[in-house]
Amino acid sequence: MFLPTTPKELDQLNWPKLDVILVTGDAYIDSPFIGVAIIGKVLVDKGFRVGIIAQPDMNSKTDISRLGEPALFWGITGGCVDSMVANYTALKKRRKKDDYTPGGMNTRRPDRAVIAYSNLVRKYFKKTRPIVLGGIEASLRRIAHYDFWSNKMRRSILFDAKADYLLFGMAHSTIVKFATALKEDKPPEVLNGVAFISKEKKGKELPSFEAVQKDKKDYIKSFHMFYQNNDPITAQRLCQQHNDRYLILNPPESFSTTKELDHIHSLEFERDLHPFHKKAGTVRALDTIRFSIPTHYGCYGECNFCAISVHQGRTVRYRSEESIIKEAADISHLEDFKGYITDLGGPTANMYGFECKKKLKKGACLDKRCLFPSPCKSLAPDHSNYIRLIQKVEKLPGIKKVFISSGIRYDIILNDKKNGGAYLEKIVNDNVSGQLKIAPEHTMPHVLNLMGKQPVDLLLKFKWQFDALSKQSGKKQFLTYYLIAAHPGCRMNDMKELKKFTTQKLKITPEQVQVFTPAPSTYSTLMYYTGLDPFSMTPLFVEKNPKEKEKQKKIVTVKSYKPYGKKGN
């Protein structure tokens, strides 16, 4: 069932009043890939009455008030993507398209949506129930942070949104405990995964907002402390002073178990756009997720430009085979299903089915990473569970093909001496839809080091194996390479070397090249703002001129590159 979004639906459910109203920057897609849909379904499963208001009109009371006022709290999210990332390119140009808006035009999502929606609620409901922030925009902006679009340090979004609480991370279990606490008139401030504002200092203190605003080295110190306290097993409570008040960050909630994830995904999702929105057109996001299946959450890749480890965590949690197979069987019975599972994966597809045993007991290491600069021996990658899962889904009645569309880590495949080769052979023969996504991001050693990415010799080794297996199978298949231009530390000459590599070694002109976007809560953004390598504290070159950033990209993407004027810096 869809969660109600109109008064008529409330009448049909005989719900005179809602406990929780969720407000989101996306159209309401009822899918296990959509965070607000999961949160709503989890709450309803526990007996709470929940409604959703998606992309409300910012200029009237009509939308925000159509479900009345909640008995417990308002839950506000910017949607599946930070609203500033959704609304602007890396060159700060306004995006015309929005994959999560009916009709595809970017006309419904306000800038800084979390703040905008919180203000909208306050405007029309003066003394209302608590306003609670969640989702990726709130989660990644939960401490004082550098904001690329205004080019300045901003306070925790809790202060700017004038909200009461912030639930960070996935919040699968926190949201239920939080709603229960409010219902029972108990203090939610004691719950893990909750952030709030206090007059008193509580916990390990980060450098204050005023300090990080004045001193970039204090900002680096603050981010290190914040990043190192994101594992629920080892994290301490943190606090950060903002003028005369304190932001309090409780330790993260415990990661969901396989049993808990299985239950979440057993809740019935419509896998469709709510009828209320359909009159305005289709949403492009459905093309990707409607017949796809999420197998796990979290990522221990820890690429410095990626915020997944801060939001979903560095520990991979995966669903059981039985849960995933049941979901595939359910999809096969959908009326418009043509037999093709478009993806069976997660943030990184081939992290399914194994984890570091030490990490599961003691938490993520503070002094080293799982894959960088080389895979840790304690990780022991094993693709056998993933191979078996794919094979079982393929055997289901009505399933013609299972594709792996999520990106994969080729260093993990190469490091799995027992089953890595069998996994690669399996997907090359059966599960590649013409192109397989991989993300080398660059080829120059010093840039790769700053990105936290594996050396380029592994890329060439993997390409050779992929090409040989594709030829052996008689299929014309290709690797799609994701590359980044203008990452901190990258100069024009580095992009020229990358162009030379792609032309001579990869024999391609790449199309998937993006200009680095300094999104909140990543180490690469820290580098961009401070001009320092935060690990060695040595100065970095950072390209901040939009025209020069675009030149870096075009060096690689144009088929016959001609240098722009003077030689690169």
Q: Is 303 annotated as a binding residue?
A: yes
Task: Return d(Cα 569, Cα 567) in angstroms, integer.
Answer: 7
Q: So what's the pLDDT on residue 389?
A: 98
Mean local confidence (pLDDT), 81-100: 97
Cβ contact 298:360 at 8 Å: no
pLDDT reported for residue 559: 81
Query: Mean pLDDT throughout 8-30?
Result: 98
Q: Which residues contact 258 (CB under 8 A, 6 or more apart)?
A: 317, 318, 319, 320
Token pair recorded at residue 342: 């478009």
Decide if 298 contacts 276 (C-beta within 8 A): no
For residue 566, is pLDDT > 70? no
pLDDT at 569: 44
Question: What is the pLDDT confidence band of residue 295, given thresholds at 50, 70 and 90?
Answer: very high
What pLDDT band is residue 562 in, cutting at 50, 70 and 90?
Answer: low
363-412 pLDDT, tens digit each = 999 999 999 999 999 999 999 999 999 999 999 999 999 999 999 999 99
Give dist(CA 249, CA 407) in Å, integer.
32
> Which parts of 237-383 fold into alpha helices (H)?
258-266, 275-278, 285-289, 308-311, 321-332, 357-362
In this predicted model, what pLDDT tens digit does every residue of 137-177 receive, in sequence order?
A: 999 999 999 999 999 999 999 999 999 999 999 999 999 99
- pTM for the full model? 0.95
Confidence of residue 563 (pLDDT cuts 50, 70, 90): very low
Whole-number pLDDT of residue 234: 97
- Residue 239 annotated as binding? no
Task: Read off the pLDDT band of 560 (50, 70, 90).
Answer: low
Q: Does the pLDDT at position 355 exceed 70?
A: yes
Residues 6 or more apart from 544 whose CB is under 8 A from it? 528
Write down how long the chain is: 569
pLDDT exceeds cutoff 50 at 190 = yes
Residues 300-330: tens digit of each pLDDT: 999 999 999 999 999 999 999 999 999 999 9
DSSP state of 184: T
Residue 435: predicted pLDDT: 92
Amino acid at 562: K
Burial of residue 497, with CB atoms counted within 10 A of its CB: 0-12 exposed, 13-18 middle, 19 or more buried: middle
The domains found in the chain, sorted by start residue, are: 7-197 (3.40.50), 434-568 (3.30.750.200)
Distance CA 46, CA 180 (A): 9
Alpha-carbon distance of 239 to 86, in angstroms, equals: 30
Alpha-carbon span 471 to 166, nearest angstrom? 52
pLDDT digits (tens, 9 = 90+) for 441-470: 999 999 999 999 999 999 999 999 999 999
Nearest CA among 346, 479, 316 for reference residue 406: 346
Average pLDDT along the chain:
96
Q: Is residue 80 a known part of a binding site?
A: no
Read off the amino acid at residue 327.
Answer: E
Whose structure tokens read 């391609």? 508
